[in-house]
Amino acid sequence: MVAITDPRADVVVVGGGILGLATAHALIRRLPGISVVVLEKENTVAVHQTGRNSGVIHAGLYYPPDSLKARLAVRGGERLVDFCADHGITHDRCGKLVVATSDDQRPQLTALAERARANGVPVTELTPGAAAEHEPHVSCVAALHVPSTGRADFAAVAQALAGLVTAAGGEVRTGVQAGRATTTAEGWLIDTPNGPIRSRFLVGCAGLHADRVARRSGARPETRILPFRGEYLDVTGPSAELVRGLVYPVPDPRFPFLGVHLTRNLDGGVHAGPNAVLALAREGYNWSDISPRDVASTLVWPGTARLLRRYWRPGLDEMIRSLSRHRFMTAARLLVPGLDSADVRRAPAGVRAQAVDRGGTLLDDFHLLDGDRSLHVLNAPSPAATASLEIGMLVADRVVAGLAH
pLDDT tens across 10-41, in order?
999 999 999 999 999 999 999 999 999 999 99
Percent of the chain with pLDDT over 70: 98
pLDDT at 2: 38
Domains of the chain: 8-50+155-222+364-404 (3.50.50.60), 95-148+226-357 (3.30.9.10)
Any idea which of 66-70, 181-185, 236-240, 256-260 has the lowest mean pLDDT?
A: 256-260
Is the pLDDT at 254 greater than 70? The verdict is no
How far apart CA 227 and CA 355 sit, in angstroms, is 9
Is the pLDDT at 6 greater than 70? The verdict is no
How far apart CA 45 and CA 190 sit, in angstroms, is 20
Question: Which amino acid makes up residue 330?
Answer: T
Is the pLDDT at 259 greater than 90? The verdict is no
Any idea which of 72-76, 237-241, 284-288, 310-314 has the lowest mean pLDDT?
A: 310-314
Region 241-270: mean pLDDT is: 89
Is the pLDDT at 4 greater than 80? The verdict is no
What string of DSSP letters covers 305-337?
HHHHHHSHHHHHHHHHHHH-HHHHHHHHHTT-T
How far apart CA 266 and CA 125 sit, in angstroms, is 26
Beta pairing partners, 344 = 235
Which positions ≥6 away from 170 have C-beta within 8 Å? 24, 28, 35, 36, 37, 38
CB atoms within 10 A of CB 111: 12
pLDDT at 252: 76
pLDDT at 257: 78
How far apart CA 188 and CA 145 sit, in angstroms, is 49
CB 134 within 8 A of CB 140: no
Mean pLDDT of the chain: 95
Q: 115-143: per-residue pLDDT in tens?
A: 999 999 999 999 999 999 999 999 999 99
How far apart CA 266 and CA 137 sit, in angstroms, is 20
How far apart CA 294 and CA 286 sit, in angstroms, is 14
pLDDT at 12: 98
